[in-house]
Chains A and B, each alone.
Chain A
Amino acid sequence: MTAGHIFKTAHEARDLIRNGDVSSVELTQSLIDRIDQVEGDLNSYITVTGEQALERAAAADAGIASGDLDGPLAGVPVMVKDNMATAGTLTTAGSQILKNFVPPYNAHVVEKLNDAGAVILGKGNLDEFAMGSSNENSSYPPTRNPWDTSRVPGGSSGGPAAAVSAGEAFISLGSDTGGSIRQPASLCGVVGLKPTYGLVSRFGLLAFASSLDQIGPFSRDVTDSANTLTVIAGHDQRDSTSSPRSGGVDYAAGLNGDISGMKLGVPKEYLVDGIEPGVRAAYEESLKVLEGLGATLEETSLPLTDQALSVYYIIAPSEASANLARYDGFKYGHSSETAQDAWEVMDMTRGEGFGAEVKRRIILGGYSLSAGYYDAYYKKAQQVRTLIRQEFAGAFEKFDALVTPTSPTVAFESGSRTDDLLAMYLSDICTIPVNIAGLPGMSLPGGFSEGLPVGLQIIAPHFGEQSMLNVAYAYEQATEWHKAHPTI
């Protein structure tokens, strides 16, 4: 009976609960059944916490009945990516080095979800330590794309994207370091939002690249994205980069769908070599939709876009090599049993526990930071980072937002890029510059090519989430793409 609700939006689900049409327990059970039905094909979850979810759903039902609990996520079943700490629940970051790690505390965003009465169903699959664009670097069976299970869901937040796409969660949280929310959102046909750096606390997020990482929501429509952002945004003393400007905004209340007179920039460098004709056609069609809504579109140029990939693949591995130094085999996680002394414990624990991509990035980062190479690589990348920020700042003097494709391609076949590093890295070419500049960006369903979803990316100035969401909302009101679901 409640199985008919699995593809509702979170706000529709919330209304059903609030009106007494269905209880949170019933809804949670129907999603647990759905997870049982499709997980054999999808692997969206690393851990499902069904019993705990049903208990929390019962508590949510009681809270809603007594009037103590309200708000957009009250009683709504959700998923969080498995690189966010959940007290008492296994948190692996997709890695064998944390295969037995049970955090003693909750990430800030998990506290926020719990306080809002959301029901966490489990932990989402990801590329190991969020390093990857296809989910094929997970040390667990990789997530597959619900639209075509021979294809990847994107990454690194492939599990959270696939779960929302396939009706295994109404909302999920992912993290985005170079596109890890927006690219899988594009490939799975859902809405994915990466906030301004500093808007959402990173406390309890297992760090990959600290100056780039941000947490954000996946959802089936823009209203849910706005509602979830309202729940998770806010200043947090436990993250020293958390912005005092963050919080206190109801993003859904600000959605009016009126973008007439807005100036939108169309950066020509994002129509990269290798963009698929179907993706390009969908994108150009989307630009017409926005123009039809009264926005003024104008081509612009961001010449440093070409350099963003190099900047990213120096800065992110450098920060990763420092962040991942903590996995030493002493305090938590895997510990080598064959080592003969403490130094060997470190070397062998890491050699045994990390997968190929993580080792690759640690080596790349270690090299970039090492004496003699620091100026040529790390410092140079940080200087070009400054120029990329300035280039965006210049564009935002003229434009309210930028509109680009999210990914140059639709979901690609599993295994097709694992041997070609640069081809894999190129999947994030349209999303990486946004992290380098710390800007907010989101991907929303923007058409289909060969039966697979195509994403439309909107990029806004720092703390411009409200106007970014409003552009997305206006587009969504004028299109039907977000209403399509995979048949799995």
Chain B
Amino acid sequence: MRYVARLTHLSLTDEEVESLRSQLSTALDFFQTLQQVDTTGVEPTGSPTDVSSVMREDVATPSLTRAETLANAPHTEDDYVRVLPVLDT
């Protein structure tokens, strides 16, 4: 559970870990019914329609301004999003 929480970047309390562990286990038991279905040679479906790899003309179009883009950022400095250190110093 801690491993999946790390993969998905979720800080969880000990109580949350315990309750999620039992819920995950209930869900996984429930999913066992899928093993009854023979899927030998069946292609997986990623999207329910036949549209795929749509391309558009490579033409530049107006986008949001820098101010609009940064307006919701919790911390900014000059024209950048400011974040805490990523690497150990």
Question: Which residues of A pack against B, CB within 8 Å?
Answer: 100-102, 104-105, 196-198, 211-212, 237, 240-244, 304, 306-307, 309-311, 313-314, 321, 325, 328-335, 339-348, 350-352, 354, 356, 359-360, 362-367, 370, 377, 379-387, 389, 421-422, 436-438, 462
Complex Cα–Cα for A377 and B24 (A)? 13
Enumerate chain A residues within 8 angstroms of B4, measured Cβ to Cβ: 363, 366-367, 370
A87 to chain B, nearest CB (A): 9
Partner of B33, one of A307, A352, A363: A307
Whether the Cβ atoms of A341 and B84 lie closer than 8 Å is: yes
**Top 9 nearest A-B pairs by Cβ distance?**
A438-B48, A382-B44, A351-B11, A332-B72, A335-B74, A383-B39, A366-B8, A104-B68, A347-B11
* Complex Cα spacing A437 to B50, Å: 12
Q: What is the CA–CA distance of A343 and B85 in the complex, to the nearest angstrom?
A: 9
Beyond A240-B54, A377-B31, A380-B34, is A385–B84 a contact (Cβ under 8 Å)?
Answer: no
CA distance in complex: A422, B43 (Å): 29
Question: Per-position contact with A for B22-35: 1 when CB-CB < 8 Å, else 0?
Answer: 01101110110111
Contacts of A321 in B (CB 8 A): 8
Q: Does B60 contact A (CB under 8 A)?
A: no
CB-contacts of B25-65 with A (<8 A):
26-28, 30-31, 33-35, 37, 39, 42-49, 51, 54, 56, 64
CA distance A354 to B8 in the complex (A): 12
What CA separation (Å) do A105 and B68 show in the bound complex? 9
- A-B contact sample (5 more), CB < 8 A, given A370-B4, A370-B7: A325-B8, A328-B9, A350-B9, A360-B20, A381-B31
Some 26 contacts from A to B, beta carbons below 8 A apart, are A104-B68, A241-B51, A243-B49, A313-B30, A313-B31, A325-B9, A334-B74, A335-B75, A343-B86, A344-B11, A350-B8, A350-B10, A350-B11, A351-B12, A377-B28, A380-B39, A383-B42, A384-B37, A385-B44, A386-B44, A389-B48, A421-B23, A421-B27, A438-B47, A438-B48, A462-B49
Least Cβ distance of B47 to chain A in Å? 5
Chain B contacts of A385 at CB under 8 A? Answer: 44-45, 48
Known: A241-B49, A339-B84, A384-B39. A363 touches B34 (CB 8 A): no
Q: In the complex, A354→B13 CA distance in Å?
A: 13
* Chain B count of residues within 8 A CB distance of the other chain: 49
CB neighbours of A345 from chain B (8 A): 83-84
Which single residue of chain A is at the shortest CB-CB distance from B48? A438
Residues of chain A with a CB closer than 8 A to B49's CB? 196-198, 241, 243, 438, 462
Let me know if A105 and B24 touch, CB within 8 A: no
Residues of A within 8 A of B31 (CB): 310, 313-314, 377, 381
Chain B residues near A (Cβ < 8 Å): 1, 3-5, 7-13, 16, 20, 23-24, 26-28, 30-31, 33-35, 37, 39, 42-49, 51, 54, 56, 64, 68-69, 71-75, 81, 83-86
Question: Cβ of A438: which chain B residues have Cβ within 8 Å of it?
Answer: 47-49
Majority-rule SS of B interface residues: loop
CB-CB under 8 A from A242, the residues of chain B are 51
Whether B10 pairs with A329 at a CB distance below 8 angstroms is no
For B82, the closest partner residue in chain A by CB is A330
B69 CB, min distance to chain A CBs, angstroms:
7
How distant is the Cα of A31 from the Cα of B8 in the complex, in angstroms? 43
Let me know if A386 and B84 touch, CB within 8 A: no
B32 and chain A: residue at smallest CB distance:
A310
Q: Check A359–B16 contact: CB distance below 8 A.
A: yes
CB nearest neighbor in A for B20: A363
Contact A362 B54 (CB under 8 A): no
CB distance from A337 to the nearest CB of B (A): 9
Q: Is the CB of B44 within 8 A of A379?
A: yes
The interface residues of chain A lying within 8 Å CB-to-CB of B68 are: 104
Nearest-Cβ distance from residue A390 to partner chain B, whole angstroms: 9
Say whether A211 contacts B47, CB under 8 Å.
Answer: yes
If the complex has contacts A104-B68, A104-B69, A348-B11, are A387 and B37 also in contact, measured as CB distance less than 8 A? Answer: yes
Flag if A360 contacts B83 (CB, 8 Å): no
